[in-house]
Amino acid sequence: ETLQRIVSTLANKNDEIHNFIDMLNHTIKNVQVNSSNAISELDEEFDGLYSILDEMKGSMANTIQQEEARKIQALQ
């Protein structure tokens, strides 16, 4: 009888461990999906910021070139 209770307790604990492992695996998958989504969103955000900075660079370079041309023309 005592041995049967021990075996039963071990079987229950084994089930609990397997359930816990399943829960951990599910949590790991959620973390992976969330991390992947966060990285994708970050990539999009940085791509947008880079695009804006590149446009600003072009605009500022154009302004500098126009100012340079104006000054050179005034000096000539």
CA separation for the pair 70, 12 (Å, rounded):
86
SS3 state at 1: coil
State residue 20's pLDDT score. 98
Identify how many contiguous H helices and E strands the chain contains and give both numbers: 1, 0
pLDDT digits (tens, 9 = 90+) for 3-62: 999 999 999 999 999 999 999 999 999 999 999 999 999 999 999 999 999 999 999 999
State residue 52's pLDDT score. 98
CA separation for the pair 19, 2 (Å, rounded):
26
**For the whole model, what pTM was predicted?**
0.65
